Every structure is written in structure tokens, then in C-alpha cells.
């Protein structure tokens, strides 16, 4: 008897609207059925049954490089700006090491609820990663076709590393000394509704969208300290809000621009000048946090 093919160390491809890419990490698929408890008469024991509605299907931790994820990330940003839910079917294909399909799961009427772009680090050595969370109205599992899954290979040159970036829109003295950025996320809440004629839930995207605050870690210099004091007087003390736009440019290894993320109408929410101790030989670090009204992105 042939050994079964295990699903713990395989490749995963994600397909949606004709767009297919290889996942960096295996996503978690959660299927949860609502439990109903009923008590009858004098019985001390509740009768427990499953709901007649279809179980809740969620997909979390679907991650890929920024270059691979760009078309999908554009969809999420368009959805957040327009307030219109973009639903479509999507498939998660598990393959062996030869990229032959061994299992397939189709998510019907998938709605992406969150996208997170990993932070940047001047000392980092990793690809920029995008992680998605989503919900679907129902799931159609199937055996694999044993056919090779074709995954287009994006230009390696368009896969930015997390240590090559530029920031514009902040005072130059601050922008020059940024060594790290925080994670960037776009999130919306998904609600469900039912009709008496169907056990399938209808998913709806709430109108409000949450954009994460962005943290910038800085090397503290006398110029940075002066610029932070000016930001404090301008933004916090005199309440001049918003201050403008901040653009984070993800670059190639030679410094050429690949992608631009723009934080629209930003406001300073926190300034931290860090602390130093006697005898310390490390560079002092500070940070600022900004909030924005919305986020846009484009190929540079």
C-alpha cells in the first residue's frame, strides 16, 4: 500500500479571478457550526444539536510576497475606498513538491476582511509579506486532480526586500533617520444575514474601514530631536490637523522604486523620544505614531 501524502509540508497555491500565486505560509481554514441547546420539561439535560444553517467558513493567515499579492491587495484597497464589497469564488490548492494538485478547497463568495503588509526594517533580510484574512459563505472541498498547478513567476526584481525603502512627507531630518516602520493593515467588519428559504448566510461588508496607525522608529540625533519638537508644536500643541500625506516607497536592491503606499491626511498621535542610560554605547532610538484617513497604493 502506498504511503499517504501528508498535508503538513506541501505547497499551497491560491486562485481568485484568474489570478494564481504561491503562498508563503499555509493558511488556516476554520469551519465552525453553531451549536443549539434546548431544554424540555423537567429533564436535567439539554438537547444539543447543530444549527441547520451552513457552518461559518473563515480563512486566516493567507500570506504571499508583495509582488505576488499586489493584484489582490489592489482589490482590498479599492473595496475599502469605494465601500462596495467585492465577492467572488476562490480556491486553495494543496500540491506536492512537484506542484501536482493533491487537494482543493473552493471558497464560495469569498470576502476579504483584512490585509496586513509587514513592517520594514533597515537591518532586515526578508521579502515584504502581505497576509490576508477572509470569510466565505460556504466551502466546497474536493480531491486533487493530480495535475501540475501552473503558477506564474513574477519578476524577481519586483519582489522588494524589507530593508530597502524611502519615506517622504515627513520632515527631512526625521525621514532620513527612519530605521523601521510598523505593520500596515486595512480591516473591515463582516456581518451575516439569513433568509428563511436558504441555510446559506449572506456576507456583508460594514461601511466603516479601519486603517492601522503607522509607527516609525528613528535614530535620535540633535536634528531629529529638533524636528520632533517642531512637529509637537505644529500638530499637537497648535492642533494643526491633518498635516498632509506620507508616502512609503518600497525599493529594489539598487534603490529604484517599486511600489508606493500613501497615507492620506496624516496626524501625529504619539511622539516618543526614547531614553538613554549612563554608559550606554548603543544609538538612542525614538519613535512617532501617525494616523491617517485612508491608504492608497500604486506601482512606482
Residue 296 belongs to some domain of the structure? no
pLDDT of residue 134: 87
φ/ψ of 230, rounded to 5, equals: -65, -40
Residue 135 confidence (pLDDT): 86
Dihedral sign of CA atoms 167, 171, 177, 182 in order: negative
Q: What distance in Å separates the CA atoms of residue 78 and residue 83, rounded to the nearest whole number? A: 8
Residue 178 lies in a domain: no
Using DSSP's 3-state secondary structure scheme, residue 255 falls into: coil
Residue in this structure with the C-alpha cell 480531491, named with its chain if needed? 143
Confidence at residue 256, expressed as pLDDT on a 0 to 100 scale: 86
Is residue 135 within 8 A of residue 203, CB to CB? The reply is yes
Report yes or no: 112 and 89 within 8 Å, Cβ to Cβ. Answer: no
- Report the predicted TM-score, pTM, of the whole model to 2 decimal places: 0.81
Domain presence at residue 145: yes
Whether residue 88 lies inside any domain: the answer is yes
- Asked whether residue 126 is domain-assigned, the answer is yes
3 falls within a domain: no
Burial 242-278 (b: 16+ CB within 10 A, else e): bbeebbbbbbbeeeebbbbbbbbebbbeebebeeeee
pLDDT value for 239: 66
Calpha distance 223→221 (Å, rounded): 5
Domain interval for residue 108: 11-33+50-153+188-211
* CATH number of the domain residue 73 falls in: 2.30.110
Q: Cα(153)–Cα(256) distance, rounded to whole angstroms?
A: 21
Q: pLDDT at position 247, please?
A: 95
pLDDT in tens, 143-162: 888 888 887 765 554 677 77
How many domains are there within the chain? 1
> Measured between alpha carbons, how far is residue 149 from residues 68, 88, 108, 167, 178 in Å?
16, 20, 20, 38, 41
For residues 52 and 199, the answer to whether their CB atoms sit within 8 Å is yes
109 and 137 Cβ atoms separated by less than 8 Å: yes
pLDDT, position 245: 94
pLDDT score of 173: 92
Residue 231 in any domain: the answer is no
Residue 125 forms part of a structural domain: yes
Tell me the pLDDT tens digit for each residue of 82-138: 766 677 888 898 888 888 888 889 988 888 888 999 999 988 888 889 999 988 888
Residues of the chain with pLDDT under 50: 1-2, 157
Amino acid at each position: 500500500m502506498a504511503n499517504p501524502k501528508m498535508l503538513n509540508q506541501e505547497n499551497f497555491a491560491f486562485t481568485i479571478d484568474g489570478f494564481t500565486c504561491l503562498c508563503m505560509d499555509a493558511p488556516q481554514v476554520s469551519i465552525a457550526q453553531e451549536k443549539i441547546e434546548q431544554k424540555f420539561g423537567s429533564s436535567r439535560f439539554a438537547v444539543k444539536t447543530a444549527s441547520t444553517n451552513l457552518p461559518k467558513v473563515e480563512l486566516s493567515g493567507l500570506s504571499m510576497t508583495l509582488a505576488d499579492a499586489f493584484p489582490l491587495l489592489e482589490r482590498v484597497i479599492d473595496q475599502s475606498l469605494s465601500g462596495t464589497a467585492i465577492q467572488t469564488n476562490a480556491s486553495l490548492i494543496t500540491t506536492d513538491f512537484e506542484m501536482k494538485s493533491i487537494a482543493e478547497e473552493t471558497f464560495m463568495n469569498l470576502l476579504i476582511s483584512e490585509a496586513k503588509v509587514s513592517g520594514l526594517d533597515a537591518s532586515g533580510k526578508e521579502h515584504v509579506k502581505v497576509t490576508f484574512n477572509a470569510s466565505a459563505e460556504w466551502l466546497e472541498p474536493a480531491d486533487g486532480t493530480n495535475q501540475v498547478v501552473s503558477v506564474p513567476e513574477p519578476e524577481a526584481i519586483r519582489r522588494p526586500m524589507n530593508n530597502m525603502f524611502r519615506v517622504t512627507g515627513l520632515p527631512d531630518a526625521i525621514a532620513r533617520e527612519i530605521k523601521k516602520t510598523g505593520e500596515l493593515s486595512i480591516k473591515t467588519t463582516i456581518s451575516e444575514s439569513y433568509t428563511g428559504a436558504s441555510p446559506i448566510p449572506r456576507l456583508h461588508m460594514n461601511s466603516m474601514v479601519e486603517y492601522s496607525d503607522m509607527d516609525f522608529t528613528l535614530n535620535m540625533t540633535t536634528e531629529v530631536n529638533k524636528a520632533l519638537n517642531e512637529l509637537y508644536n505644529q500638530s499637537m500643541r497648535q492642533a494643526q490637523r491633518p498635516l498632509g500625506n506620507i508616502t512609503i516607497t518600497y525599493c529594489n536592491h539598487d534603490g529604484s522604486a517599486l511600489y508606493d503606499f500613501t497615507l492620506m491626511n496624516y496626524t501625529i498621535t504619539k511622539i516618543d523620544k526614547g531614553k538613554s542610560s549612563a554608559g550606554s554605547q548603543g544609538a538612542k532610538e525614538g519613535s512617532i505614531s501617525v494616523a491617517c484617513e485612508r491608504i492608497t497604493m500604486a506601482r512606482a
